Amino acid sequence: MSEAGERLGRMHIVSLAGGIGGARFLRGLRATAPDAQITVIGNTGDDITLFGLRVCPDLDTVMYTLGGGIDEEQGWGRAKESHVVKEELAAYGVEPQWFGLGDRDFATHIVRSQMLEAGYPLSQITEALCTRWQPGVRLLPMTDDRCETHVVIDDERGRRAVHFQEWWVRMRASVPAESIALVGADTAKPAPGVLEAIEQADVVILPPSNPVVSIGTILQIPGIRAAIAAKTVVGVSPIIGGAPVRGMADACLTAIGVETSAQAVLDLYGSDLIDGWLVSPEDAGVALEGVRVIARPILMHDTVAAADIARTALDLAGELAG
């Protein structure tokens, strides 16, 4: 194995991850560092209880994407899905009907919910679910404690907080968010293994996930941001040329008064957290004291492209770690 390959072989990588963009990046990271030990800290702020079942969209998106079960077109949910249960629930007039849970996906939520009911923590449940999917990374929830992202809106029904999924899926973030809060963050603890994984990491990678409701929420769990700031951290901008590549990060950034740009997201993360920052060529002017910025194509058309971007991030981290 080459020297670099040898180094990668022993490498401990920690990556934070949200939904679709993060999961696709991780597929590339795993491809470019097949022998590295990769720990993924997954966002649980999107989690929601529906029909008595606990749904963990970002954990499932990482698990299905890396485990080969994802609906590639949608980026979430299972491939070859059917929706008979959803239709039957609708026939009973049961709400909500705006969240598309498929029959295969229901099995994941049933297993998770019965294990929660039996008293297992989410981290052990996620480990159990990953035994089937073999994602090739260690997937940890950011916390085992209940945290949910809620969004304050003011519409015809007045000013109120709605669950992030209702704002994101039912409203398509069309109603401006007055504020976004991670309910429960202040009393939440990092899940077992999270701080240890960060401590043992050679590098921490921030994929191009939503900086507010995915990466931002993970950083709000007490102890996680400080632990990561102590490491060599390289991030990939989720914004290219003033627009998010996918999803609605712009609506989230606007909600917290941050401009939708690669510069503004870097400023939001801060140089106390970030050591290296990958931006697209059209954002080559991005700069921040104490941060090495590299401009190169960062659009993940496929796993090969994602692997190439991930390799650039790892190589930059290697240089910065010195």
Nearer to ligand FO1, 165 or 261 (CB): 165
**Residues binding ligand FO1: number (CB under 6 A):** 17
- Residues 224-263 binding ligand FO1 (CB under 6 A) are none
| Interface pick for ligand FO1 out of 133, 167, 168, 277 (rule CB under 6 A) | 168
19 lies in the binding site for ligand FO1 (CB under 6 A): yes
Q: Which residue's C-beta sits nearest to ligand FO1? A: 19
Per-residue x/- mask for ligand FO1, residues 92 to 111, rule CB under 6 A?
A: -------xxx---x------
Q: How far apart are CA 181 and CA 159, in angstroms?
A: 15
Q: How far apart are CA 18 and CA 254, in angstroms?
A: 19
Bridge partner residues of 16 (DSSP) = 41
Question: How many CA atoms lie within 13 Å of 265's alpha carbon, on the beta-carbon side?
Answer: 33
149 lies in the binding site for ligand FO1 (CB under 6 A): no
Q: How far apart are CA 173 and CA 209, in angstroms?
A: 17
Backbone angles phi, psi at 277, to 5 degrees: -140, 125
Q: How far apart are CA 67 and CA 7, in angstroms?
A: 26
Stretch that binds ligand FO1, among 162-170, 226-234, 266-274, 297-305 (CB under 6 A): 162-170
Per-residue x/- mask for ligand FO1, residues 36 to 75, rule CB under 6 A?
A: ----------x--------x-xx-xx--------------
Tokens of 56: 């963990």
- Amino acid letter for position 165: Q
77 lies in the binding site for ligand FO1 (CB under 6 A): yes
Backbone angles phi, psi at 154, to 5 degrees: -135, 100
Q: Which positions lie near ligand FO1, rule CB under 6 A?
A: 18-19, 46, 55, 57-58, 60-61, 76-77, 99-101, 105, 165, 168-169
